[in-house]
């Protein structure tokens, strides 16, 4: 599922320079070397390490023998000061001054876009995310999909991919028959004007399901209503459209708050009328067959239940609509990659869809990827299953405001009164988003207010605070930052550690794209923020003599740019003050 790494930036980055330097004596391509470079946990071993396992096959030698041979053949040159073998590893130390200059000049070249590359140039990626169901509140899995999908779309775009962001609404299906019946019985027009229209529509569902127990005939009524909707009956269609508009309005307030936008907001309804066309296509390929009145694609050869295309009552199905949509998108965008950011429970659904397309001869389906994720643990839920994301974000902002005011009293931050609410919104929302992105997406997210808002923890506010703190340092600095300051003064261990963390960001961005895993970037930012705080503790900036001060200010500014870029990629704001 990963695409090849390739670095085509205008000037070689620090790790690129290292890879190029090692390429000659080893005979391994710079791409291969750069991809495999690691940062050893023990700093005394050197700044970087090259594990030699991946080269055993081509060289037909044991990894330890390779490391020894390469170490023997290597004479210090350029950015690499020395190499030493240690078991199957080649450890290497950098020429610190050159390393610093290489890292900083790359950041100065890219500015707030640092971390991006051209590796996806010429390719198109579709990222489908959010995809809530209309007339229902934003569920927990939609929050995760929204946050992860947005980060993935940003990351692809930063690596040069032409990126199409799609919100695929759940706006079709038998549940709209239910809603039509419930609304006609118990609803009225004023309802859809209310700001909490979605909540009220949800209540109608609930009421329907309760009354159904007493009155089973309601079920048939709902089925008939959906059937009328599918046949395009005007009054059903008008009403359905009103539900859709009211829902979209409410979703939009959430997207605005998270800074999320889409290139396309369509949904299942868009292709509902073309089910027969799809079914005919699959029949011509000999794939669709009748089973108990329904139409299916048998997948028993692949150890999967059948893919349902049409129910006995002729109504279309979720799978049918996804098959149509996938083909539409391929025709329209001719994508090189399509990511479906959808929860784990739909894993089988996507395997079925992809298999059917494969059987139908759509080779491009190998570029389609289901990007699943885990659940939320500990989030306060309302009525058992659903929660309003808006409420979570409100609460996050409220709690952050309290924290900022506490910090203000303790003299830890300085912020004019008028700027507190805006900062609290940015930090509170950022905290919720970061909490979602900081662990591998497949794992569950632990939702704990104290943890996720902890300014000293592995949190969004911690990273944002590092960014704001550096901005403050630079504001108060005796001299402006000079991007031509001589970087060769940056040889302190804490400086080298910080530079290594800076150099690592572009690699983590590439990895995040390759594995559709934004947590790599979140982790890199946490490490970076921590490395800065160690540097700032150990290396005086303002007190240092002029040349060292200029170099350190340049380093601080580069860190600020990298933090800002990384947060932006994750969909999180980076306030200058907090």
Q: Which residues bind ligand ARG (CB under 6 A)?
A: 128, 131, 133, 168, 170, 322, 340, 342
- Using CB atoms, what's the residue nearest to ligand ARG? 170
What contacts 196, CB < 8 A, 6 or more positions away? none
Helix axes 420-437, 519-538, angle to 10 degrees: 120
Nearest residue (CB) to ligand ARG, 178 versus 471: 178
Q: How far, in Å, CA of 138 to CA of 393, rounded? A: 13
Q: For residues 166 and 181, which CB has a smaller minimum distance to ligand ARG in the complex?
A: 166
Give the nearer residue to ligand ARG in terms of CB position, either 168 or 327: 168
Q: Are 349 and 318 in contact (CB under 8 A)?
A: yes
- Residue among 154 and 269 whose Cβ is closer to ligand ARG: 269
Bridge-based pairing state of the strands 48-51 and 80-86 = unpaired
CB of 362 to ligand ARG, least distance (A): 16
Burial class (CB in 10 A: 0-12, 13-18, 19+), 210: exposed
Residue (128 or 425) nearer to ligand ARG, CB: 128
Cβ atoms of 247 and 135 closer than 8 Å: yes
Q: Closest Cα partner for 92 from 65, 64, 67?
A: 67
Q: How far is the CB of 172 from ligand ARG (least distance, A)?
A: 10
Nearer to ligand ARG, 128 or 221 (CB): 128
Q: Looking at beta carbons only, is 55 or 340 nearer to ligand ARG?
A: 340
Give the integer Cα–Cα distance in Å for 86 and 49. 9
Of 369 and 407, nearer to ligand ARG (C-beta) is 369
Strands (E), 185-335: 264-267, 288-291, 294-297, 307-310
Q: How far is the CB of 535 from ligand ARG (least distance, A)?
A: 44
Residue with Cβ nearer ligand ARG (7 or 376): 376
Q: How far apart are CA 278 and CA 319, in angstroms?
A: 11
* Smaller CB separation from ligand ARG, 335 or 462: 335
Least distance in Å: CB of 244 to ligand ARG? Answer: 13
Per the document, the length of the chain is: 578
The region, left, alpha or beta by phi > 0 then psi within -120 to 50, assigned to residue 114 is beta
What DSSP letter does each residue of 300-362 carry, written as one string?
Answer: GGGT-PPEEEE-TT--B-HHHHHHHHHHHHHHHH--SEEEEE--GGGHHHHHHHHHHHHHTT-
CB 67 within 8 A of CB 52: yes
Phi, psi torsion values for 413, nearest 5 degrees: -130, 160
In the complex with ligand ARG, the residue whose CB is nearer, 115 or 170, is: 170
Instruction: Pull the structure tokens for residue 133.
Output: 């169901």
Nearer to ligand ARG, 170 or 177 (CB): 170
Minimum CB–partner distance for residue 354 and ligand ARG (Å): 12
What is the radius of gyration, based on Cα positions, of the chain? 28
Q: Would you state the torsion angle of the CA atoms of residues 515, 520, 521, 526, taken in this order, to the nearest 10 degrees?
A: 170
Smallest gap, in angstroms, from Cβ of residue 537 to ligand ARG? Answer: 47
Place of tokens 């399509």: 338
For 187, phi then psi, to 5°, come to -100, 175
In the complex, minimum distance from the CB of residue 170 to ligand ARG, in angstroms, rounded to a whole number? 3
CB of 325 to ligand ARG, least distance (A): 6
Sign of CA dihedral 404, 408, 412, 414: positive
Question: By C-beta, is 95 or 322 nearer to ligand ARG?
Answer: 322
**Which of 305, 296, 204, 294 has its CA nearest to residue 246?**
204
Shortest spacing between CB 137 and ligand ARG, in angstroms: 11
Residue pointed to by tokens 């911690």: 462
CA–CA distance, 324 with 407 (Å, rounded to integer) = 54
Q: What is the DSSP letter of 233?
A: -
* Shortest reach from residue 210's CB to ligand ARG, in Å: 23
The least CB distance from residue 168 to ligand ARG, in Å, is: 5
Joined tokens for residue 353:
């869809």
Measured CA distances, 110 to 118, 158, 170, 493, 567 (Å): 12, 11, 40, 25, 15
Q: How far is the CB of 246 from ligand ARG (least distance, A)?
A: 17
Q: Give the nearer residue to ligand ARG in terms of CB position, either 14 or 271.
A: 271
Decide if 546 contacts 538 (C-beta within 8 A).
no
CB of 303 to ligand ARG, least distance (A): 22
CB of 560 to ligand ARG, least distance (A): 38
């Amino acid at each position: 599922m990963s695409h090849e790494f390739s670095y085509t930036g205008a000037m070689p980055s620090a790790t690129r320079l290292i890879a190029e330097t090692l390429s000659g004596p080893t005979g391994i391509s710079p791409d291969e070397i750069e991809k495999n470079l690691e940062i050893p946990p023990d700093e005394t071993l050197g700044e970087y390490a090259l594990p030699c396992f991946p080269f055993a096959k081509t060289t037909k030698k044991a990894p330890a023998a390779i490391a020894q041979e390469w170490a023997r053949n290597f004479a210090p040159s350029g950015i690499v000061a020395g190499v030493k073998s240690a078991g199957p590893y080649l450890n290497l130390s950098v020429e610190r001054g050159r390393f610093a200059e290489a890292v900083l000049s790359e950041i100065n070249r890219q500015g707030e876009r640092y971390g991006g590359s051209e590796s996806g140039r010429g390719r198109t990626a579709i990222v489908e995310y959010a995809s809530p169901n209309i007339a229902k509140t934003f569920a927990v899995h939609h929050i995760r999909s929204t946050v992860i999908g947005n980060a993935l779309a940003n990351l692809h775009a930063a690596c040069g991919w032409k990126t199409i962001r799609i919100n695929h609404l759940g706006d079709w299906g038998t549940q709209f028959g239910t809603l039509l019946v419930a609304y006609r019985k118990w609803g009225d027009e004023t309802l859809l004007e209310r700001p909490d229209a979605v909540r009220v529509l949800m209540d109608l569902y609930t009421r329907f399901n309760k009354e159904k127990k007493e009155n089973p005939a309601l079920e048939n009524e709902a089925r008939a209503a959906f059937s009328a909707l599918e046949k395009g009956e005007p009054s059903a269609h008008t009403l359905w459209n009103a539900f859709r508009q009211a829902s979209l309005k409410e979703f939009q307030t959430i997207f605005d708050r998270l800074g999320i936008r889409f290139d396309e907001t369509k949904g299942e309804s868009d292709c509902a009328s073309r089910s027969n066309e799809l079914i005919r296509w699959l029949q011509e390929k000999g794939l669709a067959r009748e089973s108990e009145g329904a139409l299916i694609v048998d997948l028993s050869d692949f150890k999967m239940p059948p893919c349902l295309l049409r129910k006995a009552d002729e109504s279309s199905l979720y799978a049918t609509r996804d098959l149509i949509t996938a083909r539409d998108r391929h025709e329209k965008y001719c994508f090189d990659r399509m990511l479906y950011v959808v929860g784990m429970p739909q894993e089988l659904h996507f395997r079925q869809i992809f298999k059917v397309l494969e059987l139908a001869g759509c080779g491009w389906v190998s570029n389609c990827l289901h990007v699943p994720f885990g659940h939320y643990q500990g989030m306060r839920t309302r009525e058992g299953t659903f929660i309003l994301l808006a409420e979570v974000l409100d609460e996050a902002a409220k709690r952050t405001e309290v924290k900022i005011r506490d910090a203000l009293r303790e003299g830890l931050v300085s912020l004019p009164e008028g700027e507190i609410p805006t900062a609290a919104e940015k930090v509170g929302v950022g905290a919720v988003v970061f909490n979602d992105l900081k662990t591998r997406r497949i794992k569950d997210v632990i939702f704990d207010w104290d943890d996720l808002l902890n300014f000293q923890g592995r949190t969004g506010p911690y990273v944002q605070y590092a960014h704001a703190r550096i901005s403050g340092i630079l504001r108060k600095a005796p001299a402006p930052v000079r991007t031509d300051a001589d970087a060769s003064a940056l040889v302190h261990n804490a400086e080298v550690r910080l530079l290594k963390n800076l150099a690592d960001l572009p690699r983590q961005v590439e990895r995040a794209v390759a594995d559709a895993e934004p947590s790599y970037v979140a982790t890199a930012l946490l490490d970076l923020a921590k490395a800065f705080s160690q540097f700032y503790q150990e290396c005086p900036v303002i007190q240092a003599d002029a040349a060292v001060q200029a170099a350190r200010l340049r380093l601080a500014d580069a860190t600020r740019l990298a933090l800002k870029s990384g947060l932006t990629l994750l969909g999180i704001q980076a306030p200058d003050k907090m």
